[in-house]
């Protein structure tokens, strides 16, 4: 199996790199990934998959299926980008492109790597005439949209026995920690315009309401659980004329905590603060629930399998050109980013003290596996899949040590040769784990029993209300 998968991925290396490059060159934000989703879906069809588009009532979501019967193993792919992260690839200074959007979280690699794993499993099933079904899930809107949570709500993953995915980072490891659940909510205030000098008493400022709300939430931060996070972005300031009282203003909040119940409690308190701001300013308040996701549930049995297979994958020594590029990226980072590089990779559950990185800028080893009780400070909609299907995820080194996600440096490295090596390393580990789950009934049973042991005492409730539908990014 190992030789077959490795040889297949090497043979198709240029093909998968081209797919990654296409997605990178067509960056699209949440639920607007029309070109990327269409391109990937077409690539699936050309590889012999049957593709169902528009799943989960999302135009840019799809499922590609190959094979017959059980077990059914799924691979989760993403392809959305982020606003504000435009950057010319393979450059070591900030050089934004004309577009504002860029792949600053490596989802061009993520989606392609998961697709490559699905293709490799398909080829193995064909070669050995094995029963079983492989599914590649085209999952849009992870960044600020929780696309998978909507897909879970609509039953897209109902028949899957196990799911695998990965994420680019500066290190090779198993992402064995939980994550923060979250809600994303819009608070829109409507007031009354007036001349800010001639008749200010006749105006009712929506912008004042946003500012007062933000002040109130700042005081709330002292009275939430330590792991909680409250972020906001003022998406509408009401205009650019200071001599006009702003009649419309809006702020978008992202509320995070280890459990959905904690997020819900914080959300109710934030709503009260918003209502207070509206009362103080005599403005009207509209609250719009945007999206949410749960906390991630690790599956230790599958993580052990995934780590065993990751340990068999090649970690090629970087070329001199790759080392020089990484060195220049390293020196483009701030002092704090360089000094805190271990904190970044610990966020991907790297286990160690960093000794193996001495005088190096790129990871050349695979971290030991540790079933972590940590709660990562980020969130992912993979979490909701993990509540309904046994799920495991790894990370593979695609960037220079110290590179933060959501940075221009991450975008700059998005289609580098080192990044593509990491992408195929992840694909190999996921493919071999998928085949093991398909061919080893004892291993799959252990994975499912662990999952059932958790779910029998922890029933899943989707954190997104039924009436809320996916929406595009406010621009």
| pLDDT of amino acid 184 | 97
Q: Is 0.85 topped by the overall pTM?
A: yes
Please give the average per-residue pLDDT across 138-159, as a whole number. 97
Please give the average per-residue pLDDT across 184-202, as a whole number. 97
Residues with Cβ within 8 Å of residue 288, at least 6 apart in sequence: 185, 186, 188
Does residue 315 surpass a pLDDT of 90?
no
Decide: residue 370, CB within 10 A, 0-12 exposed, 13-18 middle, 19+ buried. Answer: middle
Q: Which residues pair with 30 in a beta bridge?
A: none
Strand 229-236 relative to strand 248-257, pairing? antiparallel
Q: Which pLDDT tens digit goes with each residue over 84-129?
A: 999 999 999 999 999 999 999 999 999 999 999 999 999 999 999 9
Please give the average per-residue pLDDT across 211-224, as a whole number. 97
How many whole angstroms separate alpha carbon 192 and alpha carbon 373?
Answer: 51
| pLDDT of amino acid 455 | 95
Please give the average per-residue pLDDT across 171-194, as a whole number. 97
Query: What average pLDDT does the structure give for the chain?
Result: 96
| pLDDT of amino acid 475 | 46
| pLDDT of amino acid 474 | 59
Which region holds residue 421: left if phi is over 0, alpha if psi is between -120 and 50, else beta? alpha
How many whole angstroms separate alpha carbon 298 and alpha carbon 179?
Answer: 10
Whole-number percent of the chain with pLDDT over 70: 99
Q: Domains for the chain: give ranges and CATH numbers.
A: 2-179+295-455 (3.40.630.10), 181-292 (3.30.70.360)
Q: Which pLDDT tens digit goes with each residue over 277-300?
A: 999 999 999 999 999 999 999 999
Residue holding tokens 């979501």?
A: 61
How many whole angstroms separate alpha carbon 58 and alpha carbon 428?
Answer: 29
| pLDDT of amino acid 473 | 66
Does residue 438 surpass a pLDDT of 50?
yes
Please give the average per-residue pLDDT across 374-397, as a whole number. 96
Q: Which pLDDT tens digit goes with each residue over 337-363?
A: 999 999 999 999 999 999 999 999 999
| pLDDT of amino acid 66 | 98
Does residue 314 surpass a pLDDT of 70?
yes
- Please give the C-alpha separations between residue 384 and each of 56, 179, 291, in angstroms, as whole numbers: 14, 11, 12
Does residue 323 surpass a pLDDT of 50?
yes
Task: Give me the long-range contacts of 45-53 (CB less than 8 A, separation at least 24).
Answer: 47/119, 47/122, 48/122, 49/118, 49/122, 49/136
**How many residues belong to the chain?**
475
Does residue 24 surpass a pLDDT of 50?
yes
Contact 464, 291 (CB under 8 A): yes
């Amino acid at each position: 199996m190992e030789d077959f998968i490795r040889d297949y991925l090497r043979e198709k290396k240029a093909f998968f790199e081209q797919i990654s490059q296409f997605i990178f060159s067509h960056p699209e934000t949440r639920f607007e990934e029309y070109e990327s989703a269409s391109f990937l879906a077409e690539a699936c069809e050309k590889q012999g998959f049957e593709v169902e588009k528009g799943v989960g009532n999302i135009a840019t979501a799809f499922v590609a299926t190959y094979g017959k019967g059980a077990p059914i193993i799924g691979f989760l792919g993403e392809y959305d980008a982020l606003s504000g992260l435009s950057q010319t690839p393979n450059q070591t200074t900030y050089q934004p492109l004309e577009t504002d959007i860029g792949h600053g979280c490596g989802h061009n690699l993520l989606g392609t790597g998961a697709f490559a794993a699905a293709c490799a499993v398909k080829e193995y099933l064909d070669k050995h005439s094995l029963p079983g079904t492989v599914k590649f899930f085209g999952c849009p809107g992870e960044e600020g949209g929780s696309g998978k949570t909507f897909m879970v709500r609509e039953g897209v993953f109902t028949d899957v026995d196990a799911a695998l995915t990965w994420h680019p980072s500066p290190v090779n490891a198993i992402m064995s920690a939980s994550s923060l659940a979250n809600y994303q909510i819009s608070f829109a205030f409507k007031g009354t315009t007036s001349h800010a000098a001639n008749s200010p008493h006749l105006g009712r400022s929506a912008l004042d309401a946003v500012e007062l709300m933000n002040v109130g939430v700042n005081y709330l931060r002292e009275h939430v659980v330590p792991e909680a996070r409250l972020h906001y972005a003022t998406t509408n300031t009401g205009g650019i004329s200071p001599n006009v009282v702003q009649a419309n203003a809006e702020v978008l909040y992202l509320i995070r905590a280890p459990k959905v119940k904690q997020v819900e409690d914080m959300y109710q308190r934030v709503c009260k603060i918003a209502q207070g701001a509206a009362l103080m300013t005599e403005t009207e308040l509209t609250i719009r629930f945007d999206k949410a996701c749960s906390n991630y549930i690790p599956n230790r049995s599958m993580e052990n399998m995934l780590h065993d297979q990751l340990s068999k994958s090649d970690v090629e020594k970087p070329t001199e050109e790759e080392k020089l590029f990484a060195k220049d990226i390293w020196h483009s980072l701030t002092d704090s980013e360089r000094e805190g590089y271990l904190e970044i990779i610990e966020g991907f559950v790297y286990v160690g003290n960093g000794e193996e990185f001495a005088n190096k800028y790129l990871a050349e080893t695979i971290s030991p596996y540790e079933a972590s009780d940590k709660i990562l400070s980020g969130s992912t909609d993979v979490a909701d899949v993990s509540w309904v299907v046994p799920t495991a995820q790894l990370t593979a080194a695609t960037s220079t040590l110290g590179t933060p996600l959501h940075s221009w440096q991450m975008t700059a490295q998005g289609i580098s040769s080192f990044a593509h090596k990491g992408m195929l390393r992840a694909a190999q580990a996921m493919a071999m784990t998928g085949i093991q789950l398909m061919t080893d009934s004892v291993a799959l049973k252990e994975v499912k029993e662990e999952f059932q042991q958790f779910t029998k005492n922890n029933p899943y409730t989707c954190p997104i209300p039924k009436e809320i539908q996916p929406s595009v990014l406010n621009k």
